Amino acid sequence: MTITTIILAAGKGTRMRSQLPKILHKIANKPMLQHVYDMSRQLENNTIKIVYGHGAELVREKLKDLDATWTEQAEQLGTGHAVQQVIDQFSDADIVLILYGDVPLLKVTTVQKLLKDAGENTLGLLTVKLKNPTGYGRIVRNQNDKVAKIVEEKDATTVEKTINEVNTGIIAVNGRHLKKWLGQLTNNNTQGEYYLTDIIEMAVSDGVEVMTTQPESADEVLGVNNRVQLSQLERVYQAEQAIRLMEQGVTLIDPARFDLRGTVDKLGSDIEIDVNVVFEGNISLGNNVRIGQNTIIINSVIGDDVEILSNCVIENAQVGNGSRIGPFARLRPETVLADHVHIGNFVEIKKSTVAHGSKINHLSYVGDATVGSKVNIGAGTITCNYDGANKFRTIIEDGAFIGSDSQLVAPVTIGKNATIGAGSTITKDTPEDQLTLSRVKQISIAGWQRPIKKEK
């Protein structure tokens, strides 16, 4: 079976009240259209066609990597008109699957079920029963309970409006039939639009049976028309991901206060995640990882037995086994920490490697540095890596001890087991095993008087 998926994505989305086309609005930091695309990518023997329109240039630019054929529907004259734009892009023998770009939570398992219903003499229609069907097309059945047609809300009689089985818009249909029916659509209706839904009645009169399937949950077919619905779908999506993680053995202290905007590619056992933790991009977590409150982790690899305390921001970093980070630490891109490294509060690390067992516990900036093993960097140490134009590296060899409040003016190398006296400004390489310090001698002035304010 060859499938052609047509994603309808030309609609305006007026109620979003946005400059951004609706389908570029994001669920879990990914455009809605990309969600639909990614889902349909999972189908075998499938080519994807996207009908776009509103915000055309921006849509094409933002989603240029999608492996799909793009067709512009310059004027949005209805869902039937949208499908007509790609009528010569599928063949008679194809099963054509119609999806909506603003229905982002549809599951591939539901689509696979629907596809089973589509054949030479049958059409698959995804419907759902809603407590409040207002706004949707209603599924009208005959006395034998077979689908007879779909009637849009605006064209429905009072009796038809009481029907609570509605059209999700998602259809799987034989290509040859679809071509024929698309040619017969008219816009004789209240909205003056070419309704794709009119093909249902045509199918029935051509003796093609309309088979209905329901999604596992009505959430799957919820569309987004405004930002309230966008936020609701975000929560549905996040809740599902949280459940999946918990099923895989992760403790989430509060699943409602955890957000995954990407994927967890590797997941160890016995991971505990406290409240307000956000993951973005691709995350890998080892065994026995604990993550404290309010921490954000982006595209990073966290080893085994790692403790990340609260309020950390970790991006494009690697954290080795047994390390402890935070609270209030920031690991910026290209930070690579080996095993048993301690990074404490108000420490920023950027583009640096820190070898086994080293500690940077308080108020430091370490950028463009290579830090050896068992190094101790005292509070308030700064690598001066930037002269306003160029960046330079600092090398701190194994076993070095950097006294508090030191500035290491790069390029500079601190030798093995060297000690730097507190408050030093180091501008030249320092020898191994020695104490180096740059400090004005301390003096005391006897008889000195502190200035006194004059009485007014």
Residues recognised as catalytic? 362
Taking CB under 6 A as the criterion, the residue among 21, 31, 55, 101 binding ligand UD1 is 101
Taking the least distance from each CB to ligand UD1, the nearer of 54 and 416 is 54
250 vs 241: CA distance, rounded Å:
11
417 vs 396: CA distance, rounded Å:
9
Strand bridging mode 138-141 / 46-52: unpaired
Residue window 115-154: x/- pattern of binding to ligand UD1, with contact defined by CB under 6 A: ---------------------xx------------x-x--
**Closest alpha carbon to 221 in 338, 376, 99, 393:** 99
Cis peptide before 327 (omega within 30 of 0): yes
Strand bridging mode 317-319 / 394-396: unpaired
Calculate the dihedral angle through the C-alpha atoms of 94, 100, 106, 110, rounding to the nearest 10 degrees. Answer: -30
Cα–Cα distance list, 151 to 124, 142, 155 (Å) = 17, 13, 6
Taking CB under 6 A as the criterion, the residue among 78, 286, 292, 403 binding ligand UD1 is 78
Q: Is residue 169 part of the contact set for ligand UD1 (CB under 6 A)?
A: yes
The window from 191-199, 232-240, 303-311, 375-383 that contacts ligand UD1 (CB under 6 A) reads 191-199
Residue window 258-297: x/- pattern of binding to ligand UD1, with contact defined by CB under 6 A: ----------------------------------------
Q: Is residue 309 part of the contact set for ligand UD1 (CB under 6 A)?
A: no
Contact yes or no for 123/174 (Cβ under 8 A): yes
Question: What's the closest the beta carbon of residue 84 comes to ligand UD1, in angstroms?
Answer: 10
Question: What's the closest the beta carbon of residue 101 comes to ligand UD1, in angstroms?
Answer: 5
319 vs 142: CA distance, rounded Å:
64
10 vs 163: CA distance, rounded Å:
28
Taking the least distance from each CB to ligand UD1, the nearer of 172 and 412 is 172
Taking the least distance from each CB to ligand UD1, the nearer of 9 and 371 is 9
Taking the least distance from each CB to ligand UD1, the nearer of 73 and 413 is 73
The window from 2-10, 230-238, 421-429, 443-451 that contacts ligand UD1 (CB under 6 A) reads 2-10
Taking CB under 6 A as the criterion, the residue among 86, 96, 147, 196 binding ligand UD1 is 196
- How many CB atoms neighbour CB 366 within 10 A? 26
289 vs 293: CA distance, rounded Å:
13
Question: What's the closest the beta carbon of residue 7 comes to ligand UD1, in angstroms?
Answer: 8
Q: Is residue 9 part of the contact set for ligand UD1 (CB under 6 A)?
A: yes
Q: Is residue 86 part of the contact set for ligand UD1 (CB under 6 A)?
A: no
Q: Is residue 376 part of the contact set for ligand UD1 (CB under 6 A)?
A: no
Residue window 36-65: x/- pattern of binding to ligand UD1, with contact defined by CB under 6 A: ---------------x--------------
E-state strands within 63-157: 69-72, 95-100, 122-129, 138-141, 147-151
Question: What's the closest the beta carbon of residue 189 comes to ligand UD1, in angstroms?
Answer: 8
Q: Is residue 94 part of the contact set for ligand UD1 (CB under 6 A)?
A: no
403 vs 358: CA distance, rounded Å:
14
Contact yes or no for 176/4 (Cβ under 8 A): no
Burial of 408 (C-beta count, 10 Å sphere; 0-12/13-18/19+): buried
Q: Is residue 166 part of the contact set for ligand UD1 (CB under 6 A)?
A: yes
- Write out the residues near ligand UD1 by the rule CB under 6 A: 8-11, 51, 73, 76-79, 81-82, 100-102, 136-137, 150, 152, 166-169, 195-197, 223
